[in-house]
Copies of this chain bind each other. A is one copy, B any other.
Amino acid sequence: MPSAERASYVKTSSNTQGKILDAAETLFIEKGFAATSLRAIANLASVNLAATHYHFGSKEGLLSATIHRRIEPINALRLANLNQLEAEQNFAVPVIIAAMFDPLLSEEIDPNLPLLIARVHGEPASISRPLLEKEFGEVGARYLAAMEKALPGVDPVDLRWRFHMVIGSMVHLLNFPSPLQMETDDSLQARREGIERLKLFAIAGLTQTGIEMKEEKQ
């Protein structure tokens, strides 16, 4: 492994690490981790096979670096948004939800990030769990704490469950940008629409105004 690693990479990279990460990102999204070979990555990156081990140590190390490169920027945006809300003492569910989901549409965020997040969630637990904890653990806890301030009347356990459901809706939207059997439009406008609908759905689910259950079916 090389001594020092650069902090950021551009989209179409000219250095070897960046080319490998770009190719790995494309193939991991398309075929998943296990079904993607290092040789396919090296070929797509126009790079020697051994370079993958030289720069990233192992296939798992390459996956971790691929994920981290894309998630770090959105974590920064999300934390900056949340810090501002806390500075303003502005704890309302809609603004917290916006602070969490609007960064997905930021121009600073790579267009591949949504599919990459969805892919991590889709990997088997032995792979996804440590990555999710490492990449989203801190930010998730911060947002959950903000939600507790925004909804002081809701039992924290209830709120954690509702937050769990919100994450599920988000991941599914990132994986399937539009409902099945609808046109698969991947434009910015289409992604905007999905995020807007996600925000409305999340707010409704988090606040849960006036619901009661009826009898159960088996």
Q: Does A140 contact B (CB under 8 A)?
A: yes
Shortest CB-to-CB span from A58 to chain B, Å, is 15
Interface residue? A210 (CB, 8 A): yes
Q: Which of A153-206 contact B (CB under 8 A)?
A: 158, 160-173, 175-176, 178-180, 182, 194, 196-205
Task: Check A98 for interface membership: any CB of B closer than 8 A.
Answer: yes
A125 to B124, CA, bound (A): 15
Copy total for this chain:
2
- Residues in B neighbouring A207, C-beta threshold 8 A: 204, 211
Known: A94-B213, A182-B160, A214-B98. A201 touches B197 (CB 8 A): no
A77: chain B residues at CB < 8 Å are 218
Instruction: With CB as the reference atom, state the residue of chain B lying closest to A122.
Output: B122
Q: Is A6 an interface residue (CB 8 A)?
A: no
For A162, give its contact among B137, B165, B197 (CB under 8 Å). Answer: B197
Shortest Cβ gap from A212 to chain B (Å): 8
Q: Is A208 an interface residue (CB 8 A)?
A: yes
Q: Are B171 and A172 in contact (CB under 8 A)?
A: yes
Q: Give the chain B neighbours of A4 by CB distance below 8 A.
A: none
Which B residues are CB-close (under 8 A) to A194?
Answer: 161
Chain A 122-133, CB within 8 Å of chain B: the 1/0 string? 111110000011
Contacts of A149 in B (CB 8 A): none
With an 8 A cutoff between CB atoms, is A145 at the interface?
A: no
Let me know if A160 and B179 touch, CB within 8 A: yes
Shortest C-beta distance, A71 to chain B (Å), equals 16
> Can you list 11 contacts pairing A with B, beta carbon distance less than 8 Å?
A31-B126, A32-B124, A34-B34, A84-B217, A95-B215, A98-B217, A103-B218, A164-B172, A165-B173, A196-B213, A204-B205
Q: Which residues of A contact B (CB under 8 A)?
A: 30-32, 34-35, 77, 81, 84, 92, 94-95, 98-99, 102-103, 106, 119, 121-126, 132-133, 137, 140, 158, 160-173, 175-176, 178-180, 182, 194, 196-205, 207-218
